[in-house]
Amino acid sequence: MSTILADATAKPTACLALADGTIFYGKGFGAVGETVAELCFNTAMTGYQEIMTDPSYAGQVVTFTFPHIGNTGVNADDDETADPVAAGMVVKWDPTEASNWRATEQLTAWLQRRGRIGIGGLDTRRLTRAIRQQGSPHVALSHDPDGNFDIEALVKKARAWSGLLGLDLAKDVTCAQSYQWDEMLWAWPDGYTKRPTKGHKVVAIDFGAKRNILRCLASAGCDVTVLPATATADEVLALNPAGVFLSNGPGDPAATGVYAVPMIQGVLERSAVPVFGICLGHQMLALALGAKTVKMNHGHHGANHPVKDLETGKVEITSMNHGFTVDSQTLPAGVKETHVSLFDGSNCGIRMADRPVFSVQYHPEASPGPQDSYYLFERFVAAIEKTA
């Protein structure tokens, strides 16, 4: 067992215990308590609030490689869902005071109120290298203002955690019942506004949908009805949609696919409407078409990932958040690979050769390019208009 101190002169108030016995001590902030999860790292320079509230991070503690966390504070407009979903956060420096005209609350107070643990003062470069070399470890994160930690117990909890492989988390983050969505993208000076006119009727399956995805659909011309992850093909088609959207989400796609794949296959067999998937929705579509997914060593988490569109030659700067990937070698005949990661060549997009059915692994709604990938929403709407 090895120990890494954040500051040897100060008594630590938080502890990060890895399953291999490595212990990181630091300064705790946010909620007091313990959590057990998978540890990943995110390289984005902005968007920590959106990351913490992205349902795709369920079951994960996020290490932020960018050191200035907390500098823009938090505000209700930037939440991607009602409450933080990521289990906790790891940062290099203690969160700074907010200095932004949009801030309504400090990050530390927000985390405390929302029940999420943070630890600061860690060598995030060392931690990130360990994740890249060894894979995403299971960890136990503890915050105790008195600095009392049962290290042996924390390591045991990290080792005992089952991990994300085989874990269906979509059921934990999906909506409890269906609802309508008509809020569009934020725009100066009015902020978020409602769709002024009727649009194309789209059913969105919520595997852990980010609000900004739904806003992009609304802004592109869609009237969106959101259904829970467990919705059946009968329930989807009963709404007579002009298009079906498959959202992002957390966990092992093969586990969620137990109920999601039959739904998607039923829609494809009984309807010719366009289908568009993002992230977990991309993986669900691939599984429904006959491909397989695999767990990645440390996944893709960041806002600077280059992705090449194989059909146009264009390179997009994208936002990524996934620990599983579609195995492109298992794509069946009639399904084309459309996008690949320029970091490692992994699959980032597919489409059916003869139908308006397509998906991407990355997050076009996060706009890191900033608008490199918005065309995908326009492509979806164009397909709806063509098939109407």
Helix, strand or coil for residue 360?
strand
Backbone angles phi, psi at 114, to 5 degrees: -95, 0
Domain boundaries of the chain, sorted by first residue: 3-160, 170-387
The residues that bridge with 281 in the sheet, in sequence order, are: none
pLDDT of residue 293: 98
Q: What is the pLDDT of residues 314-366, one digit of tens each?
A: 999 999 999 999 999 999 999 999 999 999 999 999 999 999 999 999 999 99
Q: What is the pLDDT of residues 40-73, one digit of tens each?
A: 999 999 999 999 999 999 999 999 999 999 999 9
pLDDT band for position 5 (50/70/90)? low
CATH architecture of 170-387: 3-Layer(aba) Sandwich (3.40)
Instruction: List the catalytic residue out of 34, 50, 316, 365.
Output: 365
Instruction: List the catalytic residue out of 282, 300, 339, 363.
Output: 363
Residue type, 41: F
Nearest one of 47, 46, 110 to 84, comparing CA atoms: 110
279 is catalytic: yes
Count Cβ atoms within 10 A of the Cβ of residue 345 and give its class: 0-12 exposed, 13-18 middle, 19 or more buried.
Answer: exposed
Distance separating alpha carbons of residues 74 and 83, to the nearest angstrom: 13
pLDDT band for position 201 (50/70/90)? very high
Q: What is the mean pLDDT of residues 378-383?
A: 98
Q: What is the mean pLDDT of residues 271-283?
A: 98
> Tokens 């459309």 map to which residue?
338
The whole-model pTM stands at 0.96
Distance separating alpha carbons of residues 388 and 43, to the nearest angstrom: 41
Measured from the Cβ of residue 5, the count of other Cβ atoms closer than 10 Å reads 15
Instruction: List the catalytic residue out of 15, 216, 279, 348.
Output: 279
Query: Using only C-alpha atoms, what is the Rg of the chain?
Result: 21
Distance separating alpha carbons of residues 31 and 183, to the nearest angstrom: 32
Residue type, 229: A
Residue 209 in this model has a pLDDT that exceeds 70 = yes
Q: What is the pLDDT of residues 119-157, one digit of tens each?
A: 999 999 999 999 999 999 999 999 999 999 999 999 999
> Tokens 């059946």 map to which residue?
232
Count Cβ atoms within 10 A of the Cβ of residue 277 and give its class: 0-12 exposed, 13-18 middle, 19 or more buried.
Answer: buried
**Under CATH, which number does the domain 3-160 receive?**
3.50.30.20
Nearest one of 262, 283, 37 to 172, comparing CA atoms: 37
Distance separating alpha carbons of residues 44 and 320, to the nearest angstrom: 10
365 is catalytic: yes
pLDDT of residue 6: 53
Backbone angles phi, psi at 145, to 5 degrees: -55, -25
Of 97-101, 274-278, 338-342, least confident by mean pLDDT is 97-101
